[in-house]
Homo-oligomer: A and B are copies of this chain.
Amino acid sequence: MEIKAKFWIENKGEVVLGGGKTALLLAVDRLGTIQSAADQFGMSYRHAWGMIKKIEQRAGFKLVDTKLGGKEGGGAQLTPRGREFIKKTDSLLRDLQVAVEKRFRDKFQKDSLR
């Protein structure tokens, strides 16, 4: 047997993001455009853009800065606050996954799981 876990962050009862959206935002920062990040996740630019706007709306602060060139072609990067938030969230979600698996193993000794 194994334990599975899903984590997400809410603000005022609304989902801000979980692992998937965190990965999208990290990709925006790494690749420099929303379009490239969207491509990597097999989603349209419009869908990715909408996700980012919803994350910002629910988080209550701006996470992505788009540069001149317009939303279709211009570059994008995380704001300093957005980057700090996303890096912390990504690190937290990874740590939690490891911690959850460790606690499961500690609780259920191998012999009791067969």
B-contacting residues of A (Cβ < 8 Å)? Answer: 1-11, 15-16, 59-61, 84-85, 88, 91-92, 95-96, 99-100, 103-104, 107-108, 112, 114
Q: Are A2 and B7 in contact (CB under 8 A)?
A: no
Question: Which of B5, B9, B60, B112 interacts with A114 by CB under 8 Å?
Answer: B60
**Chain B contacts of A1 at CB under 8 A?**
9-11, 16, 59
Which applies to chain A's interface (DSSP): helix, strand, loop or mixed?
A: mixed
**Chain B contacts of A5 at CB under 8 A?**
5-7, 96
Q: Are A103 and B95 in contact (CB under 8 A)?
A: yes
The CA of A3 and the CA of B88, in the complex, are separated in Å by 13
**Chain B contacts of A6 at CB under 8 A?**
5-7
Question: Which of B61, B99, B108 interacts with A103 by CB under 8 Å?
Answer: B99
**Chain B contacts of A88 at CB under 8 A?**
107-108, 112
Given A92-B103, A100-B96, A103-B92, residue A7 in contact with residue B4 (CB < 8 A)? yes
A62 to chain B, nearest CB (A): 13
Supply 26 A–B pairs (Cβ within 8 Å), ascending by A.
Answer: A1-B10, A1-B11, A1-B16, A2-B9, A3-B7, A3-B8, A4-B15, A5-B5, A5-B7, A5-B96, A6-B7, A61-B114, A84-B112, A88-B107, A88-B112, A91-B107, A92-B103, A92-B104, A92-B107, A92-B108, A95-B103, A95-B107, A96-B100, A96-B103, A99-B99, A100-B100
